[in-house]
Amino acid sequence: MFVDRVKIELRAGKGGNGAVSFRREKHIPKGGPDGGDGGKGGDIIIEADEKVGTLVELYNHPHQRAQNGESGRGANKKGKSGEDLIIKVPLGTVIEDIDRSITLGDLMSNGQRIVAARGGQGGLGNSRFKSSIRRGPRFAQKGEPGEEKRLYLSLKIIADVGLVGYPNVGKSTLLSRISSAKPKIADYPFTTLNPHLGVVKVDEIKSFVAADIPGLIEGAHQGTGLGDKFLKHIERTKVILHLVDGSEIKKENPLHHFKAINRELSNFSEELAKKPQVIAINKCDLPSTKENLDILKKTFVKKGYQVFPISALAGEGLNALIYHLSSFLDELKSKEKKKVPDALPKKEAVYKFTPRFVITKKENIYEVSGEEIERIVAMTDFDNEEALDNFQKIIKKIGLEKALIKRGIKEGDEVEIREKVFYFFK
């Protein structure tokens, strides 16, 4: 089963709670607080792995959870951090955040990774809150919840050469002859239901990757036939090898199928239509193709294309095609290198002010948002009086109380932070 787009839900590990503990030793009647911190929750990391071919594993298991951190213990023992969860995906995977409508990453090389969801911080133990005024704190922080994300993962195959053409022109046969790939081959429409990759060996050192893209027909960009779900896989190829069935071409309209496929490429993406193309006229071992070959070659050469008569089944003309594609790819790569500047211009640092919190008034309800204040709320144990007293001191210290008064808050009005409601009293 080939899966190239999945929706997954992630939840990183929750941080462990801080411990409330006091030193208890013989001959030390008044031991101080010694509660340790909680461990950090595990991150969820998405990593590109060349050994992974599809997203089918995530399709079957869309809910991914990282390990929680352990709670702290007495004697200032810190809780164990939760293990990171590493999700392996194929090269060419694009990661999109559904809720924020942004792209988080595009994993193109083996081992490339991103932290998709960060684990929560461990809560501080009560030993951290000891001071000259508060000598025996009986509260600790709760662990911070891990990030929760909903993501789309889309796979765009990375290949140097993309094979396109109408169904049954011989793409699968060609790929099987020039590489070690073993695609399904038969004489009926849409034999190839999934893209296939094959490494084409040129000599002892050089090689390139070719992809057999499922057959396209008119209207593919709108979903006709196998639809546009496979067109995206050609976007990353450097060269398009356009395979034409020489035995089926009519003299009065030799470019009909060729133009139809190119219209689909253009309608899907202008960038796709601009990619260089090499023409391979297949089935040149058949008498019907031999009769039309000269006309076909002249027609394509007039349009400025390099043309290679081949027989994928018989193996004729394949070496010349392979060597041409290899040298063409070398040319393209050298041009790309010339375009890259030797030294990137230095960017001036831009400092953007980010407020500690934002207050939004809705009638008599004051909604407060901000990463710092939301974390403080999530990690406060509101069932503990000392913890609540500490929270109120933090509110004053960061200037939230003054800001609310400035916005016109009155006694009895509601303050909402991270879905938790408080009532304001001076």
Domain CATH for 167? 3.40.50.300
Angle between helices 318-339 and 171-178 (to 10 degrees): 80
Residue 128 forms part of a structural domain:
yes
Q: Is residue 183 located within the same domain as residue 326?
A: yes
Please identify, among 155, 172, 189, the residue that sits at the C-terminal boundary of a domain. Answer: 155
pLDDT tens profile 125-158: 999 999 888 888 999 999 999 999 999 998 887 7
Residue 353 forms part of a structural domain:
no
In the beta sheet, which residues pair with residue 27?
Answer: none
CB atoms within 10 A of CB 388: 14
Please identify, among 339, 373, 390, the residue that sits at the C-terminal boundary of a domain. Answer: 339
Q: How confident is the model at residue 102 (pLDDT cuts 50, 70, 90)?
A: very high
Residue of higher predicted confidence among 375 and 133: 375
Residue 374 forms part of a structural domain:
yes
Q: What is the mean pLDDT of residues 192-206?
A: 76
Of the candidates 175, 184, 177, which has an alpha carbon nearest to the alpha carbon of residue 157? 175
Q: What is the mean pLDDT of residues 300-307?
A: 91
pLDDT tens profile 163-179: 888 877 888 889 889 98
**CA angle centred on 82, ends 136 and 95, rounded to 5°:** 130
pLDDT of residue 155: 84
Q: Is residue 89 located within the same domain as residue 190?
A: no
Q: Is residue 238 located within the same domain as residue 309?
A: yes
Rg of the chain's alpha carbons, rounded to an integer? Answer: 32
Q: What is the mean pLDDT of residues 218-236?
A: 52
Q: Is residue 418 located within the same domain as residue 299?
A: no
Q: Is residue 146 located within the same domain as residue 193?
A: no
Q: How confident is the model at residue 226 (pLDDT cuts 50, 70, 90)?
A: very low
Q: Find out whether 359 and 366 touch, Cβ atoms under 8 Å.
A: yes
Q: Is residue 92 located within the same domain as residue 137?
A: yes
Q: How confident is the model at residue 273 (pLDDT cuts 50, 70, 90)?
A: confident
Domain CATH for 402? 3.30.300.350
Q: How confident is the model at residue 351 (pLDDT cuts 50, 70, 90)?
A: low
Q: Is residue 174 located within the same domain as residue 305?
A: yes
Please identify, among 139, 155, 171, the residue that sits at the C-terminal boundary of a domain. Answer: 155
Q: Is residue 246 located within the same domain as residue 305?
A: yes
Q: How many domains would you assign to the chain?
A: 3
Range of weakest confidence among 48-62, 96-110, 224-238: 224-238
Rounded Cα–Cα distance for residues 358 and 377 (Å): 15
Q: Is residue 364 located within the same domain as residue 228?
A: no
pLDDT of residue 191: 42
For residue 300, give its domain range.
161-339
Q: Is residue 151 located within the same domain as residue 182?
A: no
How many percent of the chain have pLDDT more than 70? 85
Q: Is residue 37 located within the same domain as residue 103?
A: yes
Residue of higher predicted confidence among 260 and 353: 260
Residue 347 forms part of a structural domain:
no
